[in-house]
Amino acid sequence: MIRRAVIACACLWLTAAAAAHAPMAPADLDQRAGFDQRLGAQVPMDLHFRESDGPSRSLRQIANGKPMLLAMGYYRCPNLCDAVLHGLSHAVATLTLRPGQDFEVVFVSIDPREQPADAAASQRMLARAQPSAKVDQWHFLTGDETDIHSLARAIGFRYFLDPRNDQYAHAAGVVVLSAEGRVTQYMFGVDYPPRSLRLALVDASRGKLGSLVDQLVLLCCGYDPSTGRYSLLIGRVMQFIGIGFAIVLGATVLWLHRRRRTA
């Protein structure tokens, strides 16, 4: 559904295939792998996954009353997942909101064969590459096939294992969830503008996060599902300008009226 994410996936898939002399990507790649936007969908928060240090926890326990940034992929992915994780860590590193305290970052493996040791290795690698992103506060998860499919289906994440090269074909992106597990926004590709990411988290928190400036910006901006970005709503801005002008005009007339009566 989201062409840019699928195109990026296909390009990286073809690059990996050429490098490894593997078969070409399937002709129906864009039908079998991608994102279907399901804004407002409820993620089953009682699904259980294993943390990188071993314990099994539910998504509800992981969220702990905070909004979540959720990405899916797999730790042995040769190209795309590494780009997603680095793009996300670069954006999180620039936020004033703090992972583990204001929001949670969650990466779930789509490969049921992967183990917590695979997750821990990826977490250590990313922590060394981007120390300011506080990757040690992120959640790198593995799980069984049933729970993985349930989560992927809930957020509209389509993927498949190609038996010809034993690699997964999937799209790239991040899903923003409210503390209750509602899908609030999607951000596609591997580049996530920090300002949009911050606004998405503030919006998903229902005003619990962010400053007054963030709230005012959200009043003037709207989420565009076709791009996964925030854009200025000219009509709403003009409404605010009109209201402000009316208030100033009314105050001026009142002031002149009182001055005339005083004179």
Rounded CA separation 233/74 (Å) = 37
Contact between 120 and 78 (Cβ < 8 Å): no
Helix (H) / strand (E) element for 184: namely strand 183-188
Contact between 35 and 140 (Cβ < 8 Å): no
Rounded CA separation 37/56 (Å) = 28
Task: Report the binding-site residues.
Answer: 77, 81
Q: Any bridge partners for residue 175, and if so which?
A: 70, 186
3-class SS of residue 45: coil
Rounded CA separation 176/174 (Å) = 7
Find, among 155, 151, 161, the residue nearest to 183 by Cα.
Answer: 155
Task: Report the binding-site residues for Cu cation.
Answer: 77, 81
- Please state, in angstroms and as integers, the Cα–Cα distance from residue 180 to each residue in 8, 31, 175, 210, 251, following that order: 31, 30, 14, 18, 44
Find, among 94, 103, 98, the residue nearest to 195 by Cα.
Answer: 94
Rounded CA separation 243/120 (Å) = 54
Q: Indicate if the alpha-carbon torsion angle 7, 12, 13, 14 is positive or negative.
A: positive
